[in-house]
C-alpha cells in the first residue's frame, strides 16, 4: 500500500475524500439587530460584522437568503435605558427581537429564522436570568425563558434556541409551546455551552457583559467531556430537536463525542473569539484567510457537526466555497 497515491493530484484526493465538501446548507449566519440605531454599526472587535437597525436587519436577512444560506440566528440588543434587573425587554411584544422576526418573515418568509432565547442582553446586570442572592435563580428564570420563547414563536420564529444553560429550560419551553399550539416550532438547545474566554467579542456585539462575577455557575467547566453527554441526553429527553456544542474550535472532541454516542442532530457554534482571531491575523497578513476558514469549518463537519453557526457563513459562500448546493 502506497498512501501517497491517494494524494498525488486533486482527482485522487477527491476520490479518497472521507468528509464531503462544505455545503451552504451546513451553515447558519448570526445577525445582531439593535434598537435605536440607524443603518449599521461595525463591531470593533469583529471587523466585518455589524449591529443592524431593524430596517437594515431585514436587508441583511434578504442578502443572506439570496446566497443560499438557509438559516440565520437572530440576537436582539435593546437600548441601555430599557434594561432592568428582570430583563423585561426580552418578553415585551414591542421589543426589538419580536419586531425583527415579524419584519424579516414578512419579506423573506422561506428563510429559516432561529431566535436566541436568553436574558443577558436585556438585564441590567448582564447575567442570563433572575439574580437572587448573588446568583442566577433557576426556577424563576426558566419560567421567563418559556415566556420569551413563546413570544418569539408567536412573532413567527421557526426555531428557538435557549442559551441560558438553566436546568430544565428545554422542558419549560417545550411545554409552553405545546400548550399554546406552537408544537411545530423547533428547539435548538445550547446543550453543551462551556464557560469560555472565546465569547469576549460577542459580549461587545450583544452588549451583554456581566456587571459582576462570571457565568461559571451555569455554563460548563471546560475540563469536562462526559458532562457534555449528560447535558445533551437531558435536553433530548426534554424535547430538543437539535443539540449544540459551543465553542467549536477547541471542542471538536466534544462535537465528535456527542455525535458518535448520541446519534442525534448536532450543531456547533464557531464563536466570536474564533472569528476575531482569524480575522485579525488575516488582516495582518499572518494567515491565508480562505484556507484557514475552510479548514476550520471542514474540521467541524468532519467531527460530526450537522449545522455550523459561523460569522464567516456569508463571506465563505460568496468568496470561497466551490460546492454551494
Catalytic residues: 193, 246
Alpha-carbon gap, residue 210 to 128, rounded angstroms: 9
CA quadruple 205, 295, 321, 158: dihedral sign: negative
For residue 220, the 8-state DSSP code is B
3-state DSSP assignment of residue 1: coil
- Partnered with residue 309 across adjacent β-strands are 28, 269
Give dist(CA 3, CA 6) in Å, integer: 6
SS3 134: coil
Q: What are phi and psi of 214, to 5 degrees?
A: -145, -165
Cα 234 to Cα 170: distance, rounded to the nearest angstrom: 9
Q: Which residues contact 103 (CB under 8 A, 6 or more apart)?
A: 54, 57, 58
Taking alpha carbons only, the member of 153, 146, 97, 93 closest to residue 121 is: 97
Q: What is the dihedral of CA 90, 96, 98, 104, to 10 degrees?
A: -150
Residue with cell 465553542: 247
- H helices of 108-191, where? 138-155, 169-179
Q: Could you tell me the sign of the dihedral formed by the alpha carbons of 276, 282, 286, 291, in that order?
A: positive
* Cβ(49)–Cβ(43) below 8 Å: yes
- List Cβ neighbours of 286 (8 Å cut-off, separation of 6 or more): none
Amino acid at each position: 500500500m502506497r498512501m501517497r497515491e491517494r494524494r498525488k493530484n486533486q482527482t485522487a484526493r477527491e476520490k479518497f475524500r472521507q468528509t464531503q465538501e462544505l455545503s451552504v446548507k451546513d451553515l447558519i449566519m448570526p445577525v445582531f439587530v439593535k434598537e435605536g440605531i440607524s443603518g449599521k454599526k461595525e463591531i470593533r472587535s469583529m471587523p466585518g460584522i455589524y449591529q443592524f437597525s431593524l430596517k437594515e436587519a431585514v436587508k441583511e436577512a434578504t442578502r443572506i437568503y439570496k446566497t443560499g444560506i438557509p438559516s440565520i440566528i437572530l440576537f436582539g440588543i435593546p437600548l441601555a435605558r430599557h434594561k432592568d434587573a428582570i430583563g423585561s425587554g426580552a418578553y415585551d411584544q414591542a421589543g426589538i427581537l419580536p419586531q425583527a422576526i415579524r419584519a424579516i418573515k414578512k419579506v423573506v418568509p422561506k428563510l429559516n429564522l432561529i431566535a436566541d432565547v436568553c436574558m443577558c442582553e436585556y438585564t441590567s446586570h448582564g447575567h442570563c436570568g433572575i439574580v437572587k442572592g448573588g446568583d442566577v435563580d433557576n426556577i424563576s428564570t426558566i419560567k421567563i425563558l418559556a415566556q420569551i420563547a413563546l413570544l418569539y414563536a408567536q412573532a413567527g420564529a421557526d426555531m428557538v434556541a435557549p442559551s441560558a444553560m438553566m436546568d430544565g429550560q428545554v422542558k419549560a419551553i417545550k411545554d409552553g409551546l405545546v400548550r399554546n399550539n406552537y408544537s411545530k416550532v423547533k428547539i435548538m438547545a445550547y446543550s453543551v455551552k462551556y464557560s469560555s474566554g472565546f465569547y469576549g467579542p460577542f459580549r461587545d456585539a450583544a452588549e451583554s457583559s456581566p456587571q459582576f462575577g462570571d457565568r461559571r455557575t451555569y455554563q460548563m467547566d471546560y475540563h469536562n467531556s462526559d458532562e457534555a453527554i449528560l447535558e445533551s441526553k437531558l435536553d433530548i429527553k426534554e424535547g430538543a430537536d437539535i443539540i449544540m456544542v459551543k465553542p467549536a474550535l477547541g471542542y471538536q472532541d466534544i462535537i465528535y463525542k456527542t455525535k458518535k454516542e448520541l446519534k442525534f442532530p448536532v450543531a456547533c457554534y464557531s464563536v466570536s473569539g474564533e472569528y476575531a482571531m482569524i480575522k485579525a491575523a488575516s488582516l495582518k497578513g499572518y494567515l491565508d484567510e480562505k484556507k484557514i476558514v475552510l479548514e476550520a469549518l471542514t474540521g467541524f463537519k468532519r467531527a460530526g457537526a450537522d449545522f455550523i453557526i459561523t460569522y464567516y457563513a456569508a463571506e465563505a459562500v460568496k468568496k470561497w466555497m466551490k460546492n454551494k448546493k
